[in-house]
Amino acid sequence: MGGKAFLIVQHLEWEGPGQHLRAALQEAGVGYRILEAWHEPVPAPADFAGFMVLGGSPNVDEEEQFPYLVPLKAAIREVLIGGQAYLGFCLGHQLLAHVLGCRVGPLPKKSVGFVTGELTPEGLAHPLFQGFPAHPRLFKWHGQGVLPPLPPGIKILARSAAAPLEALGLAGNPKVVGLQFDNHVGPADVEKWLQADAAWALRGSGAEPAAVMATAKEVEAEMGREFRIFMNNFLRLALS
């Protein structure tokens, strides 16, 4: 597709862009730079086609513990004001919501592993979800989420029994979307996450590592196909 590269914002050494995200970008011929946000300054957003912000351990309000969140939030605002594309996963989704004035806080139960989601009528009509299943399988790894009610102009695109807001979009701007789920990862990524973050992920979630890994391998091809559909939609809009 050519054009400017994307900035992929990474929060943790072990939680980088997943197998399906890397494959989708490579197949589309789209370049990217990875920013290790915990120790690198945020570059000028105008130098990129847009931001893709991954998940990580910080909560959106933990600026004292994670000072880099301050300039990152400012850069996200610049992306929105500049009319660029934004794709957030998990924490990246929550940061987008926070910048937009939504409330982010603990969910009743930590969500780790695979759940079935549901596209809302707004999600079914959204250009990024064209060709996507109405009841997609979602890979989850979080304890907080975006909490309704939402400010005007923000749409709930997907939900699940585990979280009231699995995806959000902006009225009139399809190039900006947040996903609470991490469908960009494949089995090798899931294994790495379980090794690095099991103490947090398994405490109070009810998740069983062997079952999570078995499902990740079972649905790898299916989720890869579906994620490519989503990413092709996103890249076509983002780079148009």
Q: What is the pTM of this model?
A: 0.97
Q: What is the pLDDT of residues 177-188, one digit of tens each?
A: 999 999 999 999
Bridging pattern class, strands 50-53 and 103-119: unpaired
Read off the pLDDT of each residue in 203-224 and give the average, rounded to a whole number.
Answer: 97
The CA distance from 102 to 96, in Å, is 9
| Residue 149 CB neighbours (<10 A) | 8
Q: What is the pLDDT of residues 99-155, one digit of tens each?
A: 999 999 999 999 999 999 999 999 999 999 999 999 999 999 999 999 999 999 999
Q: What is the pLDDT of residues 50-83, one digit of tens each?
A: 999 999 999 999 999 999 999 999 999 999 999 9
Domains in the chain with CATH codes: 6-238 (3.40.50.880)
User: What confidence score (pLDDT) does residue 138 get?
Assistant: 98
